[in-house]
Amino acid sequence: MAAPASSSASLAAADSLCVFCGSSPGNDPAYAQLAGDVGRAIAQNGWRMVYGGGQKGLMGILADSALASNGQVLGVIPSVMTSSAPSGHPTDSSASKEGQGPSTQVHTHPNMHTEVVSSMHERKALMARESGRGFVGLPGGYGTFEEVLEMVTWSQLGIHNVPIVLPNVRDFWGPLEQLVQSAAKSGFITEKGLDLLYVLHQKEVDAEHGGDWGKATLAAVGKMEAKLRGRQGYWAWSSNGSTPSRPDFSSAATAISVRNLTYSFQPHLPASLHNINLTLPQGSRTLLIGANGAGKSTLLRLLAGKRLVSNKSGTPTPITVFDRDVFNSPPSGITYLGTEWAMNPVVRSDIVVDDFLNSVGGYRYKARRDRLLDLLDVDLDWHMHAISDGERRRVQLCMGLMAPWTVLLLDEVTVDLDVQVRSDLLAFLKEEAEERGATIVYATHIFDGLHDFPSHVVHMRLGEVVDESGPNAQAAPSLLWPPSDSDMQRLRSSSASAARDSKDGVLLNIALDWLRADRKLREEREAAAGDKGKQRGARKGLGKDAVVESDSEKFYTRYDYSQTVMR
């Protein structure tokens, strides 16, 4: 398989749009005009254009136009098409060269990268993989029809879930549109299936984009992207039945909304959270993933209304839960469970669990309390001061989950549960979200058995939320989970560890990739700050440390008891 685009076309698939078109110019100047407009619009939009790699006809116009606007271009061409003679033609004795493998690369422009692949099939697969924003079909012949229709079929199968736009200049695609509609009337394409293809008409181009087909085409890609969010195609072709389908949150109410949230613990301290924007729908189960110190606990506490976020007069409040300010007018039903609870002296006093639960209203929710007692395997006769940390944690969970909460904020509270109880608890929480529409945000570093739990994954890095949503996001910046195939390609293609992924390992390995990259970024920032910056890890004895003993030497001389005794 050909390698992905190299430095000359360094934009990723997530910022790439593929254009299919003929390698002949056609006989109407409007086709050439369209190709030029589309190539330019993609480049001006900052996206990479992926196309069939040819230098003649509409393909040539398209590529030249994108390159003239300083765009990046990835051409994918089968080796059979790189030779000057039309190989494969019946009169050509050499016949088809498909399958012979890559030959030389053909383009030299610095912003152009050409991948030579061995077959048409390989070309289509590579183009699809490199085109996270979707596909545009310009006029062309059989090959173009075949490419466009195969990409629509892949959308239908759920192999990808991206826009496919056909700019209908001079009514080129009109007959295909009619055919699709007639197939729908005849019962071969469903109503939903009609949405998989966007035929862009002159009327829309004139009315909304002053006749500019390039801009109108990109706008149509955006419209279709919005329409496709949350859809799965008709069935998940490549999930082999093991990946659960993603729930559709497109019509769910917003449970949690965070807008431009920046937060410092003290005015003189640097911000622990920077410009966080997050929208989480009702019923979602969001996993917060980030390194130690990334800001997960701080965010959870702010979501729980435990700290006041200053709100300059006239600006909307930065955190709302079901449209209510969490600090000043919190809605009922927000439950926060954090690790600090176990440190509270009250929960370590000599009090019997039964009394303890009743003192916080357990008798009012008897049915839920009893279910949780069973599930968490809690003994009502335990004395709180004489139980293990894990047992104390079970009591905390029973106490916190008894009342039917609407929003649950969990900060690492499953860390000391045994695997069975943790697994049963996760199943219970999932059921609560699915059946009662309860919303969960859960920060954890433990990934065992978590693959089937979340509906959304949020990556926090150095106090910021990283947008991992990709082009198919239903709710940026979170990554919808389980990821679609195109999300998987985007997230795992850059990772050498993709091969390690097993069902449970996918989430863990994605998290590992994110955290490794986060640490590298932090170290780069620290290095850039030079002496003024902070340094983590073992001191290397450089600079001001050069003349002093190493950390381990200090440790042993000060704290090693064997040394002390011998002295």
Residues in contact with ligand ATP by the rule CB under 6 A: 265, 269, 272, 290, 292-298
At residue 265, the 3 state secondary structure works out as coil
Q: Cβ closer to ligand ATP: 290 or 362?
A: 290
Q: Cβ closer to ligand ATP: 436 or 445?
A: 445
Alpha-helical (H) ranges within 172-327 are: 174-185, 202-209, 213-228, 296-303
Closest among 285, 302, 348, 209 to 475, alpha carbons compared: 285
CB 307, min distance to ligand ATP, A: 10
Q: Give the separation between CA 566 and CA 372, rounded to whole angstroms.
A: 55
CB 293, min distance to ligand ATP, A: 4
Q: Cβ closer to ligand ATP: 269 or 565?
A: 269
Neighbours of 206 (CB within 10 A): 12
Q: Cβ closer to ligand ATP: 33 or 339?
A: 339
Q: Give the separation between CA 176 and CA 199, rounded to whole angstroms.
A: 9
Neighbours of 411 (CB within 10 A): 23
Cβ neighbours of residue 412 under 8 Å, at least 6 residues apart?
A: 297, 338, 339, 443, 444, 445
CB 269, min distance to ligand ATP, A: 6
CB 263, min distance to ligand ATP, A: 9
Q: Cβ closer to ligand ATP: 76 or 294?
A: 294
Q: Are 258 and 276 in contact (CB under 8 A)?
A: yes
CB 275, min distance to ligand ATP, A: 15
CB 316, min distance to ligand ATP, A: 24
Q: Cβ closer to ligand ATP: 127 or 450?
A: 450
Q: Are 254 and 281 in contact (CB under 8 A)?
A: yes
CB 200, min distance to ligand ATP, A: 45
Alpha-helical (H) ranges within 45-173 are: 57-68, 120-129, 142-157
At residue 418, the 3 state secondary structure works out as coil
The DSSP H or E segment spanning 17 is strand 16-20
CB 410, min distance to ligand ATP, A: 12
Q: Give the separation between CA 393 and CA 396, rounded to whole angstroms.
A: 5
Q: Cβ closer to ligand ATP: 14 or 326?
A: 326
SS3 track for 146-168: HHHHHHHHHHHHCCCCCCEEEEC
Q: Give the separation between CA 93 and CA 81, rounded to whole angstroms.
A: 16
Map tokens 């219970």 to a residue: 428
CB 476, min distance to ligand ATP, A: 21
The DSSP H or E segment spanning 525 is helix 505-529
Q: Cβ closer to ligand ATP: 265 or 556?
A: 265
Take residue 304 and report the two structure tokens written for it.
């729980």
The one-letter amino acid code at 251 reads S
Q: Are strands 334-337 and 285-289 parallel, antiparallel or unpaired?
A: unpaired
Q: Cβ closer to ligand ATP: 203 or 536?
A: 536
Q: Are 148 and 137 in contact (CB under 8 A)?
A: yes
CB 294, min distance to ligand ATP, A: 4
CB 459, min distance to ligand ATP, A: 11
Q: Peptide bond before 29: cis, by omega within 30 degrees of 0?
A: no
CB 34, min distance to ligand ATP, A: 50
Q: Cβ closer to ligand ATP: 170 or 307?
A: 307
The DSSP H or E segment spanning 41 is helix 29-44
Take residue 252 and report the two structure tokens written for it.
């769910």
Q: Cβ closer to ligand ATP: 113 or 459?
A: 459
Q: Are strands 112-117 and 72-78 parallel, antiparallel or unpaired?
A: parallel
Q: Are 161 and 484 in contact (CB under 8 A)?
A: yes
Take residue 370 and report the two structure tokens written for it.
């009893």
Q: Give the separation between CA 552 and CA 393, rounded to whole angstroms.
A: 36
Q: Cβ closer to ligand ATP: 291 or 510?
A: 291
Q: Cβ closer to ligand ATP: 180 or 337?
A: 337
CB 504, min distance to ligand ATP, A: 21
